[in-house]
Every structure is written in C-alpha cells, then in structure tokens.
C-alpha cells in the first residue's frame, strides 16, 4: 500500500465494481447522493464499497466521478470509473453528510511474471469463446487489445456467470496470478455447464423437429393413401388378414374377428384402438396349433430321469405311467384336441433341497416337451393367475397364459413352484383361481379374464412343488396327485454328490477333474456328520467349502512349482515340468477342510437318565428327532409344560399322565410337581404324534427305568392306551436312520407306509408296529431292579 486518501464512501448493495469498470449508479438513496456531493469537493474521487447483507466489505475501489445527471427515466444518476483497489481505514471528518474514511490504495502483486503471462494465454481464449457465443464482437476486440494481466482479470467484473461472492473474492485479491487461476477454474466450469445445457437444448429441439416432421409426413401419407383408396399396412385390414390366416380354434377366430370389426369402426386417436390391438397381438402370439411330440421310448425316458436324479422312484414311476397311458390313448385315437385330454397334475411335496424344482426340467427333457417355471411364492393377487379385465389400465393376461406363450407350445411342462406359499388378501385368492387350472376335468375350457376365450390346458403337464401339505387349501389339494419326496438316504446322498454335486462344484471352483478326488467314504462322512438334512443343499455347501480350500491349496503349490521350474530352467533349459498335483480328500484329512464334525449321535447321552425319551417329528425341513424330558420335584402337585408347545401337544401330555394314573403306573407322580420340557424351546411345536413319547418319558420317570438309547418312537395315544396312526412315517424313519437309531416304534396301522421306505433303511432299522401303549413301554424301557425307581418311598 503506497497511497492514503480521505474519501467519501458510496455503498453498493447489489453489485461489485472492479478496477477498470465504468458504470452508472442510480442515486436513489440519501447515502449515494451525499457521497456524490462530497466527491465533488474532493477532486471528484470517492470510494465504492460493496455492502452485501448490510455489512461493508473490507476492500473497495477508488473511483473517479465522470458525470452527474439523470437517466432517461428522469431519475438522478452518476457515472463513475473504477481505478484502484483500496482497503478501508479509520473514519475521518469531512464535509457534507457522507461517510468519510481513509482509503489505502493496494498495489497489485505478480502482475509481470512469466506465470501471469501463461495464465493470460489460457484465460483469454476461454473468455473469447464465451463472448463469441453471445456475438459480442466489439468486446472481443477490447479483450484482445488488453496486454496487462491485471486489467484482463478485472474485466471479469462484467461476467454475468460469476456471482457476487466470487466477484468479492476477486476484488479482495491483489495477487494477479491467484485472480487468473480462480477465473480459469470458474470459467471452465461455466463452459462445461453451458455445453451440457446446449446439448440438452439441441437434443430437445431436434426431437421436437423430428416429431413434428414425422407427424406431418404421416398426415401427408394418410392423405395420399386415402386418395388412392389404400389403408395402412398395420391397420384393421392387416389384423383381419392375420386372423384369417392364423390357425385358431373356431370360437377364438370368431372372437378375434369381432374385435377386428370394432377396430375398423374405432378412430386411430381413440385409446380403445390401442387396447384392441394389444389384445389381438396377445391372441395371435399364443401357439394355438403348436404341439410337441412326446417321446415314445419309455426306456429312454426312464434313463434320462435316472441320469438327472438319484432316487425319487415314485416320481419317476408316475411319469412313466403318464407317458404309457398317453401312448395307449394315442394308439386308440382317444387324444382329442379341445376335449378332456390326458393332462396330469402332480404335486411334489417334500422338504427343501430334495430336487422338487429341478425335476421339472428333467421331466420336460425326458418327454421332449418345452419347460416353463411359474413362481407362486408370495403371490396374493388373483389376477396373477386369471389375468386382469381389459377395462383396467395396463391389463395383461395371467401367468398361465404368459407361460403358454413363452413355451410356444400348447403341451408344455409347467412347474408351479412353491404352491404352498400362495397367499390371499383383498385382491382375491390365487389358490382358488388355480382350481380350474389344475382340475383335469375342467381345464380344457380355462378362461382367462383378459382373453375371455376358452384355452385348452388339458394337454399340459402341471407339476406343483410344496414343502408342506398343511398350507395348501383342501379343494386345491384334492385336484392334485401328491407324490411325496421325503428325503434321501446316506447312500443316495453319496451317489448324488459323486455324480452331480462334486462335478458341478469342481467346475464352479475353476478346477479340473484331475485336481481333486473326494472318496465315497469322505462324502458319506460329510453327509452323516457335517450335515443333518433331508435334502442335499447343506451337503452341496459343504462340498463347495472343501473345494474352495482345495483351490487355495493348489494355488500355493502351483506358485511354489512355478518358482522351482523358473530356478531349474535358469540352470538347465531342458528341465522337465513339475508333476501335476492331485489333492485327495479322505476321512483322515476331512477335518482339515471342514473342521470337527457338527452332528454326532446324542441319543445315548440324552436318554441316559430316567424321564427322557426320543421321539420322531416332521418339520418344514423334513423329519427330525425330538427329545422329551420329564422330571419331578417336591412341591404342590401339578404339571408344568415348557418348550413352546401347541394346544394339541399339551393335551398329549395330559392324556399320557391320565393314562398312567388310570393304570396305577404313575407311582407317586400324583404327589409331586411334574415338569415336562421339549428342548429347542425357541421352536414352536405341535401335533398329536408325540403322544407315545410323552407316555414313555413319564413312565420312565415313574419307574426309574431309562429309555433305551437306540429306540425312537412316534404315534398318537388315546386315554385307553391305543396307539393311533400318524403322518410322515417315511420322513420320520429317515430321520431316525440319520440320527443313528436302530429301533423305531410306529403305530400298527402305519405298517403299510413301510412299503415306501427304501430297502437299505428298512434293513438297517428294527421297526416295531404296535397297537397298545403297554407294548410301547415293554419295548422302550430298559430292564431295571424295582428299587431303582426314583419315586420309591
């Protein structure tokens, strides 16, 4: 700062004036008028100070009063020329009503440096390009003539794309290099934003012009065709031709021609025209006359099913029976299209991971049919099945029609996945909408709400999958043939793992067949001690975990071999490649890959004391063992039940206790407080099949005779001691086999269910069908001395 002047202050509320600018200022306030009057007494000098938000800026501009007069509107105004930056010092006393202060002139810094010259060379083209877009050619000439970097930077005071805050920064900055750097940054950002805005405006303008041009051309084309007596190629006549040439059933053709007639009478601008066209397109896309030929080779069909899936003999046999019946109907000429065909509806019910969904593709491949999967889990809208009425906006056909269209055939295999998880709410009940679809005596005239024409589904093979039957509505269940997939034995799991899971996971891990070998013994150990499931999903994950660790192991070996080969080749160019490394997974080293076994037989430990019995149950994940514990204590006689038991299971405990008391087998149970608990207390449990287990646990407690650790049981019990049949026998026996039990007690009336049990499981279990609880106790309780009773006096 080299010069100090006493000058009147002219505040600027909405503008910032940089040195070199000449601007008019309206004198609409007493402060501005007083400052101009005072300037006339101080050699026409005054200090222009920005005052944003009512506060004076620390830096202003010393300006010269050029002229005082009036604007064309008659308002008083003054023209000033800004000259030098100045900081505001202390106030001083001066003539008039103006505010006088000391103005300390600021010298510019770095105005003549090489860096400043480089920045000018970069900034000048940016400003010029902006001015060219605005056709400001005179201003461009002035910019080109400026050679002083500081003066060029201060021309930014005229820039409309800089806001007041940015201009205040420029005013307060005496360093020319810093001002130019900031201006280059701000200007580049503005240019980039302007380019984007211009591109958007250009695209919008081009789109509007194209739309207008197409509209005019279409109007002209329509007028020309009208004069020539021709219609548009995609008009109503085109639809009429397509309908007449399509191979449609008679009733469908009649309905389609009716809609074509409506289209001919409807204006192109009417929304109904679009609805009719969409409906006609949907009808014409359906494969009304397309059918695939089923395979006639029953042996080949069974071979494909056996190749794709191990076990599941019931399903395979039922499909072979379906194909055999269809072949005989064809030979006798009973397969009439449009009538009651030989379509079947099979419901595959079983725990997760047993192959219910994947078997659909195998069935389609075995029969030579197209395959479509329809996921029903969580579907709550009836329109998802039967379609929407055409009066609704966005109406479309239901999933069944869309599946037929996707298959491109009228006789595909349609898999209705997770049918037990279909819900219902205010939008309707999809399960009820499936009644007509899955009824072989009705689905030859299935009517979708959108199509409103009969669709023959009698030749479709429907496969439904479910985890449990309980949640499937009874009317819907009655229309399906239930095929139970209760789970796999250990031998079947080993076969599935060897033939399917291991090759699949080897490919996913990026390995070769020669990189790793999993022995059957190791696979059996994984299935028995590292997983506890009816299906094979956990087995698949365990195999994947083993192969991931093998991949890491091989990678380490390959790196060491590569380093070794590199060293050898450095000394001997003829060094042979390293031998290929094969990892062998056996029972001896399986723990290195999976850790310690997670599932080991625990029945012997749990039943080592009186009052604990091993029951068998069925859950959504398949069969499982269920331990029931009973104990007695001093206190007020009564019964305590824990373990989240349902009402039916609570009643089973009461029945068991009443039975023992009625037979004088309760000892002193009546004089003690009895506590019955079913572990896994966080899991709700219910059902009558634990009745015999309840009786056995209480009888063991009363007599002091432990329950045999190798025996599991299931069955409902009555007050008279009769053992009633229950469901899920196969799943329960498979669970007993997995848990290492050797003896199983089942109701006598469930004996026919043993025919469905795999022979290997039946041979390994000692199964006792009983009809009376006394026989259960005789088989289940250990022999003991009478004095061993825990309730003996």
Kind plus residue range of the DSSP H or E element containing 537:
helix 537-571
Please report which confidence band the pLDDT of residue 172 belongs to, taking 50, 70 and 90 as the band edges: very high
DSSP state of 786: G
Whole-angstrom Cα distance, residue 612 to residue 624? 16
- The DSSP bridge partners found for residue 788 are none
pLDDT value for 225: 66
Based on the residue annotation, tell me whether 519 is a catalytic residue of this protein.
Answer: no
pLDDT value for 179: 92
DSSP state of 84: E
Is residue 480 scored above 50 in pLDDT?
Answer: yes
Average pLDDT estimate for 533-551: 87
Which is more confident, 212 or 189?
A: 189
- Residue 746 · residue 729 · CB < 8 Å: yes
Please report which confidence band the pLDDT of residue 784 belongs to, taking 50, 70 and 90 as the band edges: low
Give the annotated binding-site residues. Answer: 350-357
Is residue 569 scored above 60 in pLDDT?
Answer: no
Count the alpha carbons within 13 Å of 764 in the hemisphere toward its beta carbon: 17
Per-residue burial over 258-281, b = 16 or more CB atoms within 10 Å of its CB, e = otherwise: ebbeebeebeeeeeeeebbbebbe
> Of the segments 230-234, 562-566, 615-619, which one has the largest average pLDDT value?
615-619
The CATH fold assigned to 4-105 is 2.30.130
The residue to which tokens 């069908």 are assigned: 769
Sheet holding 461-466, edge to edge: 371-375, 413-417, 461-466, 345-349, 481-484
Whole-angstrom Cα distance, residue 46 to residue 63? 6
Is the backbone of residue 311 left (phi > 0), alpha (psi -120 to 50) or beta?
left
Which is more confident, 190 or 685?
A: 190
Classified as helix, coil or strand, 497 is: helix
- The answer for residues whose C-beta is within 8 angstroms of residue 401's C-beta and 6 or more apart is 282, 286, 387, 448, 450, 451, 455
pLDDT value for 171: 92
Instruction: Quickly count: other Cβ atoms within 10 Å of residue 557's Cβ.
Output: 13
Average pLDDT estimate for 703-722: 89
Average pLDDT estimate for 208-237: 71
- The answer for residues whose C-beta is within 8 angstroms of residue 492's C-beta and 6 or more apart is 310, 311, 758
- The DSSP bridge partners found for residue 623 are 618
- For the chain, the helix, strand and coil percentages under 3-state DSSP, each to the nearest 5: 45, 20, 35
* Nearest residue to 292 via CA among 159, 178, 412: 412
Q: Which two tokens stand for residue 755?
A: 């025919």
The residues spanned by each domain of the chain are 4-105, 114-188, 236-285, 298-484, 490-594, 603-788
For 114-188, CATH number?
1.20.58
Which is more confident, 225 or 611?
A: 611
Please report which confidence band the pLDDT of residue 756 belongs to, taking 50, 70 and 90 as the band edges: confident
Please report which confidence band the pLDDT of residue 337 belongs to, taking 50, 70 and 90 as the band edges: very low
Whole-angstrom Cα distance, residue 301 to residue 308? 11
pLDDT value for 350: 82
Is residue 154 scored above 80 in pLDDT?
Answer: yes
Average pLDDT estimate for 749-774: 87
Q: Which two tokens stand for residue 525?
A: 């150990």
**Domain 490-594, CATH number (from 1.10.1760.20, 3.40.640.10, 3.60.15.10, 1.10.8.60):** 1.10.8.60
pLDDT value for 338: 42
> What counts of helices (H) and strands (E) characterise the chain?
27, 24
For the stretch 286-307, pLDDT in tens is 898 888 887 778 888 888 888 8
Is residue 267 scored above 50 in pLDDT?
Answer: yes
Is residue 425 scored above 60 in pLDDT?
Answer: yes
Taking CA atoms, 398 is separated from 357, 402, 452, 730, in Å, by 21, 6, 12, 37
Is residue 478 scored above 90 in pLDDT?
Answer: no
Strands 345-349 and 481-484: parallel
Please report which confidence band the pLDDT of residue 1 belongs to, taking 50, 70 and 90 as the band edges: very low
* Nearest residue to 216 via CA among 243, 21, 191, 208: 208
Task: Give the chain's mean pLDDT.
Answer: 83
Please report which confidence band the pLDDT of residue 80 belongs to, taking 50, 70 and 90 as the band edges: very high
For the stretch 66-77, pLDDT in tens is 999 888 888 889
pLDDT value for 583: 86
Average pLDDT estimate for 692-719: 89
Indicate the range of 18-22, 174-178, 622-626, 743-747 predicted with least confidence.
Answer: 622-626
Give the pTM.
Answer: 0.60
The CATH fold assigned to 603-788 is Ribosomal Protein S5; domain 2 (3.30.230)
> Of the segments 163-177, 359-373, 492-506, which one has the largest average pLDDT value?
163-177
Indicate the range of 53-62, 98-107, 159-168, 345-354 predicted with least confidence.
Answer: 345-354
Please report which confidence band the pLDDT of residue 375 belongs to, taking 50, 70 and 90 as the band edges: confident
- The answer for residues whose C-beta is within 8 angstroms of residue 558's C-beta and 6 or more apart is 581
Helices of type H across 332-378:
356-367
* Nearest residue to 490 via CA among 734, 721, 321, 256: 734
pLDDT value for 791: 32
Is residue 2 scored above 60 in pLDDT?
Answer: no
Indicate the range of 331-345, 433-447, 451-465 predicted with least confidence.
Answer: 331-345
Which is more confident, 370 or 602?
A: 370
pLDDT value for 783: 78
Is residue 203 scored above 80 in pLDDT?
Answer: yes
Percent of the chain with pLDDT over 70: 91
pLDDT value for 174: 93
pLDDT value for 85: 93
Average pLDDT estimate for 516-533: 85
The CATH fold assigned to 298-484 is Rossmann fold (3.40.50)
Average pLDDT estimate for 705-731: 89
Is residue 43 scored above 50 in pLDDT?
Answer: yes
Which is more confident, 725 or 445?
A: 725
Average pLDDT estimate for 598-618: 80
What secondary structure does DSSP assign to 26-39, as a single string?
E--SHHHHHHHHHH
Average pLDDT estimate for 734-756: 87
Among 32, 603, 689, 700, the active-site one is 689
Give the annotated binding-site residues for ATP. Answer: 350-357
DSSP state of 781: B
Based on the residue annotation, tell me whether 549 is a catalytic residue of this protein.
Answer: no
Whole-angstrom Cα distance, residue 715 to residue 723? 6
- The answer for residues whose C-beta is within 8 angstroms of residue 307's C-beta and 6 or more apart is none
Whole-angstrom Cα distance, residue 247 to residue 245? 7
């Amino acid at each position: 700062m080299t010069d100090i002047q006493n000058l009147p202050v002219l505040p600027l509320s909405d503008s910032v004036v940089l040195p070199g600018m000449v601007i008019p200022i309206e004198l609409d306030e007493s402060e501005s008028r007083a400052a101009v009057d005072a300037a006339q007494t101080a050699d026409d000098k005054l200090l222009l100070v920005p005052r944003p938000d009512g506060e004076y800026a620390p830096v202003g501009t010393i300006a010269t009063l050029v002229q005082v007069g009036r604007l064309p509107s008659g308002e008083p105004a003054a023209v000033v020329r800004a000259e030098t930056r100045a900081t505001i010092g202390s106030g001083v006393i001066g003539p008039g009503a103006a505010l006088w202060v000391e103005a300390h002139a600021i010298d510019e810094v770095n105005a003549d440096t090489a860096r400043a010259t480089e920045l000018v060379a970069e900034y000048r083209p940016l400003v010029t390009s902006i001015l060219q877009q605005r056709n400001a050619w005179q201003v461009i000439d002035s910019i080109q003539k400026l050679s002083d970097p500081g003066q060029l930077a201060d021309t930014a005071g005229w820039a409309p794309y800089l806001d007041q805050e940015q201009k205040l920064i420029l005013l307060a900055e005496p360093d020319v290099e810093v001002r130019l750097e900031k201006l280059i940054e701000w200007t580049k950002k503005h240019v980039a934003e302007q380019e984007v805005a211009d591109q958007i405006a250009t695209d919008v303008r081009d789109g509007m012009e194209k739309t207008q041009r197409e509209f005019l051309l279409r109007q002209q084309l329509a007028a020309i065709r009208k004069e020539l007596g021709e219609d548009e190629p995609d008009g109503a006549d085109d639809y009429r031709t397509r309908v007449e040439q399509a191979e449609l059933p008679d009733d469908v053709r009649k309905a389609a021609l009716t809609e074509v007639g409506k289209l001919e009478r409807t204006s192109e601008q009417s929304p109904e025209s679009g609805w009719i066209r969409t409906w006609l397109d949907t009808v014409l896309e359906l494969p009304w006359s397309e059918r695939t030929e089923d395979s006639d080779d029953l042996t080949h069909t069974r071979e494909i099913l056996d190749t794709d899936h191990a076990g599941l003999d019931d399903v395979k046999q039922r499909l072979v029976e379906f194909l055999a019946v269809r072949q005989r109907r064809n030979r006798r000429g009973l397969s009439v299209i449009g009538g009651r065909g030989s379509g079947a509806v099979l419901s595959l019910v079983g725990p997760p991971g047993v192959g219910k969904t994947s078997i659909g593709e195998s069935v389609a491949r075995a029969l030579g049919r197209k395959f479509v999967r329809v996921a029903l889990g969580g579907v709550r809208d009836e329109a998802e099945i039967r379609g929407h009425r055409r009066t609704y906006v966005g109406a479309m056909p239901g999933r069944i029609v869309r599946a037929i269209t996707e298959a491109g055939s009228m006789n595909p295999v349609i898999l209705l996945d997770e049918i037990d998880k279909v819900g219902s709410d205010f939008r309707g009940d999809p399960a009820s909408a499936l009644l007509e679809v899955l009824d072989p005596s009705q689905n030859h005239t299935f009517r979708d709400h959108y199509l409103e024409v009969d669709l023959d589904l009698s030749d479709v093979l429907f496969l439904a999958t479910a985890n449990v039957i309980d949640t499937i509505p009874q009317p819907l269940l009655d229309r399906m043939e239930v095929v139970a997939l209760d789970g796999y034995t250990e031998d079947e799991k080993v076969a599935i793992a060897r033939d399917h899971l291991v090759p699949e996971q080897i490919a996913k891990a990026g390995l070769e067949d020669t990189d790793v070998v999993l022995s059957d013994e190791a696979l059996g150990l994984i299935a028995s001690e590292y997983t506890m499931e009816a299906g094979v999903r956990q087995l698949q994950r365990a195999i994947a975990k083993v192969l991931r660790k093998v991949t890491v192991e091989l990678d380490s070996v390959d790196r060491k071999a590569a380093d070794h080969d590199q060293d050898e080749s450095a000394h001997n160019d003829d060094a042979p490649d390293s031998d290929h490394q094969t990892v062998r997974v056996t029972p001896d080293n399986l723990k290195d890959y999976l850790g310690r076994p997670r599932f080991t037989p625990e029945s012997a430990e749990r039943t080592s004391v009186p009052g604990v019995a091993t029951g068998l149950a069925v859950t959504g994940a398949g069969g499982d063992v269920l331990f029931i514990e009973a104990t007695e204590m001093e206190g007020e006689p009564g019964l305590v039940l824990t373990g989240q038991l349902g009402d039916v299971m609570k009643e089973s405990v009461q029945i068991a206790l009443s039975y023992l008391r009625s037979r004088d087998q309760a000892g002193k149970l009546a004089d003690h407080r009895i506590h019955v608990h079913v572990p896994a207390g966080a899991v709700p449990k219910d059902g009558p099949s634990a009745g015999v287990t309840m009786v056995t646990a209480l009888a063991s407690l009363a007599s002091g005779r432990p329950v045999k650790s190798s025996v599991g049981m299931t069955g409902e019990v009555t007050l008279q001691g009769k053992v009633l049949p229950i469901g899920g026998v196969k799943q329960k026996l498979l669970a007993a086999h997995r848990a290492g039990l050797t003896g199983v007690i089942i109701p006598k009336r469930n004996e026919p269910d043993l025919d469905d049990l795999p022979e290997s499981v039946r041979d390994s279990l000692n199964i006792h069908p009983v009809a009376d609880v006394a026989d259960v106790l005789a088989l289940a309780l250990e022999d003991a001395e009478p004095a061993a009773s825990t309730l003996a006096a």
